[in-house]
Amino acid sequence: MATKFQFTNYCYLFCILIISISTARFIIRILTNSTKLRPPPSPPALPFIGHLHLLSSTLPKSFETLAKRWGPLMQIRMGDAACVIISDANTAEKVLKTHDADCASKFEPGPTQQLMYKGATFFNSPYGPYWRFMKKLCVTKLFGGSQLDRFTHIREKERMKLLKFLVQRSVEGESCDLSMELEAVTNHTMYSMVMGKRCTSQAYSDQAVEIRRIIMDIMELGSKFPLFEVFGPLKKLDLSGNGRRIKSVFLRYDQKLEQIIQEYEENRTNIGEREERDVMDILLETYKDTNAEFKLTKNHIKYFIMEIFMAVVDSTATTMQSAMAELINRPHAFKKLREEINTVVGSNRLITESDVPNLPYLQAIFKEILRLYPPASLLWRTCAVDTKINGYDVKSGTKIFVNIHAIMRDPNTWKEPDKFLPERFLEPGSQQMDFKGQDFRFLPFGSGRRACLGSSYALSVMLATVGSLVQCFDWKLKGVDKADIDTVTGDTGALAHSLVCYPIICFDPFNA
């Protein structure tokens, strides 16, 4: 009896021992795992919405404010999306250089649930076969050096058209809306390069304007989505009704593009081998190519063209507007720039794109404009694998925002960061700070694999255009003493108040 009792007791003891050891191992495993993983600092979150209540529609500014408290690498939750926000140059280098390959995928930062061309994005595509294929096409055929050189005459023609209009305004003593004119010249130039080839001149002008109107409607509606509808738990419900509206504008765009593609296909037989081809010609050729490494669809083509218009026209036009506003507000800088142009170009011909490399002050002005008013204030990526950054664990699938607005105004790296001081880019040692994204304090065109593919084109157009506005005219603002450069709309940094002014001829390029 005693032996049986002892045996049962031993069995109980043995079971308790096994359960205790397993429980202890389980607890130790949880403890060691949680001490091993070190997530980035994060403000307290609310259930479901995470940190959405801490953000305003101007995300870069909200991120900058939070970073002052939580540091240059912080984690927040926007609805169900885990996001890491980077706010200094050293940490940006880790993402855009050290871990560039693992962080080379992007995501669509706006409302995707309403998009018509789902999965056809290039600008925000994952780092995969479609992106590789299109990047090669962009670099070799669409926006590569030789393709851009072939279109120099289009850019010149549009610039001369603008100058002619301004000369006429000056002669008549009338004012002009310079913001609107700069936007129109950028849109027309882009339209000609992308799909202006098959149009007669009037149809060309009308179509350029119509496409612009549709794109602006889409962008305006896109910017009206409340954050909780983009990231929050209610994103599928379309509570604001914006989803339905954006779908109907997308439909208008789709019909227009179908019509243009049809016109191109009907006229294809007329394109000689040596005739200049525009972007649409090259895209359709690739679409038809049965041996192409990637099978393009019409949706890819339509969305690529939409993204080009969205990303390019506003960024280029906005940067030129900001440059003119700063120069009009600062007679000393304006005079210094005109003196540089007159010294390099002389007094009997108009500045051209090929003069730009010889105009360091003009370049410094644009560096300073892009530092203070970057049209794209945030870069975004998705982390493809678990990654350690600054000693913190960033989990695979986390969305990463690099706040270049904050980085390019960081008081730890820039002296008097909020002041317009182009001379800072002429100081010894700072001239190597170029537009290529190698110096992580200055990233207006991004950096790494996903850096901007059109920076050279944008700079040629912007510097030659603003250079000629300074060379040819003095400017007097209408009704105000100073241009309001601080009030902007949306995330592109476009001036909220148009730059309305009187051009006063001082060098007439048509009588030179």
Residue ranges in contact with ligand HEM by CB under 6 A: 123, 135, 138, 143, 311-312, 315-316, 319, 375-376, 379, 444-447, 450-454, 457-458
Nearer to ligand HEM, 440 or 507 (CB): 440
The rounded distance, in Å, linking the Cα atoms of 324 and 444 is 18
Cα distance between residue 1 and residue 5, in whole Å:
6
Structure-block tokens of residue 129:
């076969």
Closest approach of ligand HEM to the CB of residue 122, in Å: 7
Token pair of 403 as six digits: 């706040």
What sign for the dihedral angle of Cα 62, 65, 66, 67? positive
Burial class (CB within 10 angstroms; exposed 0-12, middle 13-18, buried 19+) of 406: buried
Return the number of the residue (60 or 446) whose C-beta is nearest ligand HEM. 446
Closest approach, Cβ 314 to ligand HEM, in A, equals 9
Q: Which is nearer to ligand HEM, 315 or 468 (CB)?
A: 315
Closer residue to ligand HEM in complex, CB, 87/315: 315
To ligand HEM, the closest distance from the beta carbon of 24 in angstroms equals: 48
Looking at the Cβ atoms of 45 and 451, the one nearer to ligand HEM is 451
456's tokens: 């050279």
Strand partners, 379: 402
Which letter, b or e, does each residue of 37-51 get, where b requires 16 or more Cβ atoms within 10 Å of its Cβ?
A: eeebebeeeeeebbb
If one counts every other C-beta atom within 10 angstroms of the C-beta of residue 356, the result is 19
Are the C-beta atoms of 509 and 163 separated by less than 8 Å? Answer: yes
Nearer to ligand HEM, 379 or 408 (CB): 379
Give me the helices (H) in 119-230, please. Answer: 129-137, 145-150, 152-172, 178-195, 201-223, 227-230
CB of 458 to ligand HEM, least distance (A): 4
CA 491 from centre of chain: 10
Angstrom CA distances, 342 to 216, 346, 355, 425, stand at: 38, 5, 11, 21
- Provide the β-strand partners of residue 380: 401
CB-nearer residue toward ligand HEM: 40 or 444: 444
Phi-psi bin for 486: left (phi > 0), alpha (psi -120 to 50), beta? alpha
**Minimum distance of ligand HEM from residue 289's CB (angstroms):** 21
* Shortest distance (Å) from residue 434 CB to ligand HEM: 14
Q: Give the residue with the Cβ less far from ligand HEM, 49 or 459.
A: 459
Question: How near is the Cβ of 205 to ligand HEM at its closest, in Å?
Answer: 21
Rounded Cα–Cα distance for residues 389 and 381 (Å)? 14
CB of 343 to ligand HEM, least distance (A): 26
In angstroms, give the least distance from the CB of 142 to ligand HEM: 8
User: Between β-strands 399-403 and 81-86, what pairing exists: parallel, antiparallel or unpaired?
Assistant: parallel
d(Cα 124, Cα 328) in Å, to the nearest integer?
A: 36
Expressed in angstroms, the distance from the first to the final Cα of the chain is: 123
322 vs 387, beta carbon nearer ligand HEM? 322
Nearer CB in complex with ligand HEM: 245/449: 449
Secondary structure (DSSP) of 267-303: HGGG--TTS---HHHHHHHHHH-TT-SS---HHHHHH
Residue among 65, 61, 66 nearest 42 (CA) = 66
Nearest residue (CB) to ligand HEM, 138 versus 167: 138
Query: In the bound complex, what is the minimum distance in angstroms from residue 362's beta carbon to ligand HEM?
Result: 15
Write down the least CB distance from residue 16 to ligand HEM, Å. Answer: 59
Minimum distance of ligand HEM from residue 28's CB (angstroms):
43
Cα–Cα distance for residue pair 296/311, rounded to 1 Å = 21
Considering beta carbons, is residue 176 or 452 the nearer one to ligand HEM? 452
